[in-house]
Structure 1
């Protein structure tokens, strides 16, 4: 909580559970490939979330809700919990983004597919990677993924394409943005979350981020920033600790030298 507060996150609505531990996971680096991840989330405080925990003040002063597919996988009632939060957000006029963030170790593939597909109609912005898209609806051409996901309900589908960058679909439009190339990958964990942060930080500067005319102008910038943050997140160990400020992002994109001392 101290770390979150230090980053400017409002922690006033945090619920403390004296009987349940905070979840933890470990990353094992082998010097090649992705690190192995070991989760210890069973019986954690977060795994006990239910609809009874939802408070109106969570959404009262917000304009956007971002959720991931990890939360519904944590416990017996967390899927119903996150679905209700999304429904209330939509009812309150918030826009909702959803990153499926597939974690096969947390639940069965059958349940994961069923729950993730059930949440898609409740989001405005859907953020799958290629592996997640294939998991949800089978192997398709990228353009077909965009078309089918839009038919389910989101107004904007943004797909992470790895070394090919990303592509956004809305209405009858498709906008692709190339990746930022990095010489090496230190730790890929957290790149998807950084990508989402980059995308949303541009879109939410707009009063009507999902208006077609707004997307015509802003989506190329949003994809470019998302690709950059996703790439930079692979350059340090940890999920978020080395991420840049907005000013540093702008300097990087503009090719300016950063003044460090």
Structure 2
């Protein structure tokens, strides 16, 4: 089943450099170049699920910027509102992996090209053919000016009666939880679908009980509160009821990007009008498949991979 629905997202993208050796980064000499970024991962996930996707961004007018641009375009993403800017290097992200499997991430995005995006750059024509707008907290955390851009996007979406989904995607290396809470509380009233990890919603609200989360959704006017809980599956609060679906049993090798994939899967189900239980099942399946492949977005599945996985007709192999 092919989707004709259009999704819009905006945010920074990075070149991710993954170490080919384990140990402290200062002793690592070889890296593999990849492309990453929460919003771009989401856009890739949507494109592979046969949705039309527009990604708004700014990239450095450099070789790394060309890599990201060509990669996104190759995935079938509409990059007509992605521009190259000089004087702002494309963001970088170095990963460190220790022998025990633990790791760290080192961001180099203080002068991100996305800083050159202004509220007035968001125009009504960008929303033509768009059925849903998706934003994340990563974009907000990069710089306070981005908050004004997000507000403009949300307000324009409301004027055009386009639903807004939001993933807090908290990055405490970019801002404090107190800063995040203050910004989120100002924006939640514009959010129709909130897609949050259980640990994130607890950081935001201070409580993860179902009663308190239901009250939080009601107070903020959030129509659909979706809670992602990894191997425990996910649940949704909607119209006074909680709906729950267990996770698919897989042997995870890398959980990076699973949340972005889940978001894409849920939005696919939402736009297709799938019943809530089927929507959660589909999103759980996408998230599970992502964890079976190493990388930020390499494991994001195509539509014709998800349905057989749900029906257990095939084992996902790459």
Shift of 1:198: 0.8
Q: For 1:254, which of 298, 311, 318 is the aligned residue?
A: 311
Query: In 2, are the aligned partners of 1:188 and 1:233 still within 8 Å (CA)?
Result: yes
- Displacement, 1:243? 1.9
Q: Secondary structure at the match of 1:128?
A: strand
5 Å matches for 1:43-54? Answer: 43-54=111-122
Deviation string 1:86-145 (CA, Å, 9 cap, x unpaired) is 111111111110000000000122211101221111111001111111111112413421
Match 1:195 to one of 217, 242, 262? 262
Runs of 4+ in 1 over 3 A off after TM superposition: 31-35, 257-260
> Whose RCO is larger (CA < 8 A, sep 6+)?
2
Unpaired runs of at least 5, structure 1: 207-216
Report deviation, 1:146: 3.0
Name the residue aligned to 2:181: 113
Within 5 A, what are the aligned runs for 1:63-212? 63-183=131-251, 185-206=252-273
Q: Which has the higher strand share?
A: 2
Residue matched to 1:245: 302
Higher mean Cα deviation, 40-49 or 136-145?
136-145
For residues 73-92 of structure 1, what are the alpha-carbon distances to aligned partners after superposition, in whole Å with 9 as ceiling and x for unaligned?
11230111111111111111
| C-alpha spacing 1:42/1:203, structure 2 compared with 1 (3 Å) | same
Which residue number corresponds to residue 209 of structure 1?
A: none
Paired residue for 1:211? none
* Secondary structure class of the residue paired with 1:174: strand
Task: Find the aligned partners of 1:3 and 1:95 in 2 and give their Cα distance.
Answer: 28
Aligned residues of 1:127 and 1:160 also touching (Cα < 8 A): yes
Distance 1:79 1:39 in 2: 20
State whether residues 20 and 45 of structure 1, in contact with CA within 8 Å, keep that contact through their aligned partners in structure 2.
yes
Instruction: Work out the CA distance in 2 between the residues paired with 1:64 and 1:152.
Output: 19
Correspondence for 2:89: 21
Which stretches in structure 2 are left out of the alignment for 5+ residues? Answer: 1-68
- The residue number in structure 1 matching 2:292 is 235
What is the aligned counterpart of 1:219 among 264, 270, 276? 276
- What is the CA-CA distance between 1:34 and the residue it aligns to? 5.1
| Contact 2:214/2:240 (8 A) holds in 1 | no
Q: How many residues align?
A: 249
Q: Deviations over 1:135-194 (max 9, x none)?
A: 1111241342133223212110000122211100111111000011222x3221111101
After superposition, the CA RMSD in angstroms is 1.8
Relative to structure 1, the CA distance from residue 133 to residue 6 in structure 2 (aligned partners, 3 Å threshold; closer, same or farther) is same
Contact 1:150–1:156, Cα closer than 8 Å, also in 2: no
Distance 1:9 1:136 in 2: 32
Give the match's secondary structure for 1:12. coil
- How far the C-alpha of 1:48 sits from its partner, in A, is 3.3
TM-score (ref. length: structure 2)? 0.74
**Residues 182-215 of structure 1, C-alpha deviation per residue, up to 9 Å, x if partnerless?**
22x3221111101101111111113xxxxxxxxx
**Secondary structure at 1:127's aligned position in 2?**
strand
TM superposition score normalised by structure 1: 0.89
User: Secondary structure of the residue that 1:5 maps to in structure 2?
Assistant: helix
